[in-house]
Amino acid sequence: MGESKNLIIGVIVVVIAVALIGVGVYFSFSNSDDKLTKKDNESVSIFSDKEETVKKELEKYIKNANESSIEEVNFDEVKIYTKEEIENNELLKDYDLKPEDIVFEVNYSLKLLDGYNGDIMQFTAGTGEIDGQWVKNKYNCGIVRYNADNDYTITDFGTGF
């Protein structure tokens, strides 16, 4: 009887050890999945810093699209969609979103360059109001995607999905 008792205790110890190792492996993989490599080989986490990623990419996107017009972009609010919000949003189901994609809404303001003499109304199209050199209360939504070039791309940027 003593041998069978020792065998049962041994089996229980092995099962507990395997379970603990499995939990450690799970956490190891789940915590490393949020690392992506940028072009400069700098490891970045878009999952822990989604808001900053959206701000950086959106400022670059807006300034590139309006290179001779925009001096400054101020972000009033950035809302990052959770996994559950994405899954429950019927409008997003056709976008073939991947886990690393960031779905966002943003309220922001644009400061036009001193002496800008173009059509200021182009910056209020859809949303926004003019206040001196500023176009305030702009609203847009979009998706930041991690692309094949190991860089980010703003896609589907507009006033609705």
User: Hey, what amino acid is at 82?
Assistant: T
Instruction: Return the number of other C-beta atoms located less than 10 Å from residue 10's C-beta.
Output: 10
Res. 45: pLDDT tops 60 = no
For the chain, the farthest-separated pair of C-alpha atoms sits apart, in whole angstroms, at 95
Confidence class for position 15, pLDDT limits 50, 70, 90: low
Which distant-in-sequence residues (6+ apart) come within 8 Å of 100 by Cβ?
A: 36, 46, 47, 145, 146
pLDDT in tens, 82-126: 999 999 999 998 888 988 899 999 999 999 988 887 777 788 777
85/159 Cα distance (integer angstroms): 18
